[in-house]
Chain A
Amino acid sequence: MRPQSLAELRDAVRDTHGTLLVKGAGTAEGWAGAPEPTDHVLETTGLAGVITYNPADMTVAVRAGTPLTALQRELADAGQRISLDPARTRATVGGLVATADSGPLRHSYGGPRDLLIGVTVVLADGTVARSGGHVIKNVAGYDLGKLLCGSFGTLGVIAEVVLRVHPLPPASRTVSIPCDATEAVEHTGRVLEARLEPAALEWCDGELLARYEGVESSVELRAAATPGGTTLSVPDAEAAWRRVAAVHDHDLVVRCGTRPSALPAVAKHATSLASSAAVGVHTLAATDVDRLREEFTQVTVLRHPPAVPAWGEPHAAVPLMRAVKRHFDPDGRLGPGRFRPWF
Chain B
Amino acid sequence: MSLTDLRDELAARLGRDGIVTDPAHLRTYECDALTGYRVVPGLVALPRDAGEVAVAVAACARYRVPFVARGAGTGLSGGALPVADGVVISLQRLRRVVEVDPVDRRATVEPGVTNLDISRAAAKYGLYYSPDPSSQQVCTIGGNVAENSGGAHCLKYGFTANHILAVDVVLPDGTATRLGGDAPHQAGFDLLGAFVGTEGTLGIVTGVVVRLLHTPATVRTLVANFDSTKDAGDAVTAVIAAGIVPAAIEMMDNLAIQAVNAAVDAGFDPDTAAALIVELDGPADEVEARFADLTRLCAKATGVTIARDAEHRAKIWQGRKAAFAAVGRLSPNYFVQDGVVPRTRLGEALTRIAEMGDEAGIRVANVFHAGDGNLHPLVLYSEERGEHERAEALSTAIAELCVELGGSLSGEHGIGTDKACSMPLMFSEDDLATMRRLRAAFDPEGLCNPGKVFPTPRLCGERPGPYRPHPLESAGVIERL
Contacts and interface: CB of A to CB of B under 8 A. Distances in A.
B372 A222 contact: no
B453 A146 contact: no
Contact of A222 (B191, B194, B283, B435): B283
Nearest to B175: A319
A141 B193 contact: no
Contacts of B147: 139
B193 A143 contact: yes
A260 B244 CA distance: 30
A298 B431 contact: no
A41 interface: no
Given A128-B481, A257-B181, A261-B103, A56 B237 contact: yes
Given A218-B285, A281-B183, A321-B191, A141 B477 contact: no
A79 to B, nearest CB: 6
Interface in A123-152: 123, 127-131, 133-144, 146-151
B438 A324 contact: yes
Nearest to B437: A327
Contact of A113 (B193, B237, B372): B193
B410 A6 contact: no
A129 B410 contact: no
A105 to B, nearest CB: 13
Contacts of A319: 177
Interface in A59-102: 59, 61, 79, 100
Contacts of B11: none
B372 A215 contact: no
B181 to A, nearest CB: 4
Contacts of A123: 434
Given A114-B158, A129-B434, A298-B185, A136 B372 contact: yes
Interface stretch (B354-362, B381-389, B439-447): B439-447
A137 B154 contact: yes
Nearest to B218: A195
Contacts of A138: 340, 407-408, 410-411
A10 interface: yes
A110 interface: yes
A195 B190 contact: no
Interface string A284-312: 00000000000011111000000000010
Nearest to A260: B104
A129 B427 CA distance: 9
Nearest to A167: B243
B18 interface: no
Nearest to B434: A129
Contacts of B343: 56-58
Given A57-B343, A150-B190, A321-B188, A316 B442 contact: no
A56 B104 contact: no
Interface residues of B, number: 91
A324 B453 contact: no
* Interface of A, helix, strand, loop or mixed by DSSP: mixed
A214 interface: yes
B477 A317 contact: no
A256 interface: yes
B477 A51 contact: yes
B240 interface: yes
Contacts of B283: 195-197, 214, 218, 221-222
A27 B471 CA distance: 36
B400 to A, nearest CB: 12
A19 interface: no
A193 B185 contact: no
Interface in A216-258: 217-218, 221-222, 255-258
B433 interface: yes
A28 interface: no
A268 interface: no
Interface in A322-337: 323-324, 326-328
B193 to A, nearest CB: 3
Interface in B386-441: 406-415, 419, 423, 426-428, 430-435, 437-441
Contacts of A146: 161, 190, 193-194, 196
B434 A6 contact: no
Contacts of A300: 185, 187-188
Contact of A281 (B185, B240, B374, B426): B185
B177 A320 contact: yes
Interface of B: 103-106, 126, 147-148, 150, 154, 158-159, 161-162, 171, 177-179, 181-191, 193-194, 196-198, 214-217, 237, 240-241, 243-245, 282-283, 285-286, 289-290, 340-344, 369, 372-374, 406-415, 419, 423, 426-428, 430-435, 437-442, 453, 472, 477-479, 481
8 contacts: A10-B481, A100-B190, A129-B430, A135-B341, A142-B198, A148-B189, A217-B285, A279-B184
